[in-house]
Structure 1
């Protein structure tokens, strides 16, 4: 029963993650349109910070995934160490 629940949660997570690029691609089009409109105007709107903002937003998912992977690895290593000190029990 537990294995079915874990597999179901994994499938749900995979499905939700597969929908994320659709939202990300739509946002890029909006950014491009905004920058083009701002650069055509003569009001002196500065668009140089936009690329830094995009890079900043891109790094957040990688940092979160890396942190989860690190803690998962550390937890697994602690479990292995604990099992070896208990004589395999």
Structure 2
């Protein structure tokens, strides 16, 4: 459990560095900013962060349940 807490802490601590944008997203934001619309950039940043974090969170959840199931099986086999 402490490893999971450490990973989550590192992801949150380094989130401000990860607010980077791909070239197409950056071009879209620059185009919108030049036309006077500034609310698009923040939405794109959060969308990129969501797409970045979702597979890692899913992998951590699957790994956690795999680990718990493995421990349970090991306990069951050691009782016999």
TM-score normalised by length of structure 1: 0.57
> In the alignment, what sits opposite 2:54?
60
Tell me the number of residue pairs that the alignment of Structure 1 and Structure 2 aligns.
Answer: 59
Specify every segment of 5 or more residues in structure 2 that has no aligned partner in the other structure, as ranges.
Answer: 1-20
Runs of 4+ displaced beyond 3 Å: none
Distance in 1 separating the partners of 2:53 and 2:24: 20
Residue 59 of structure 1 deviates from its aligned partner by 1.6
Instruction: Identify which of 53, 70, 78 aligns with 1:76.
Output: 70
RMSD: 1.8
Q: Could you say which structure has the larger radius of gyration?
A: 1
Kindly indicate whether structure 1 or structure 2 has the higher relative contact order, using CA contacts under 8 Å at least 6 residues apart: 2
1:36-83 CA-partner distances (Å, limit 9, x unpaired): 1111113x2422222122212222111101011101101110111011
TM-score normalised by length of structure 2: 0.62
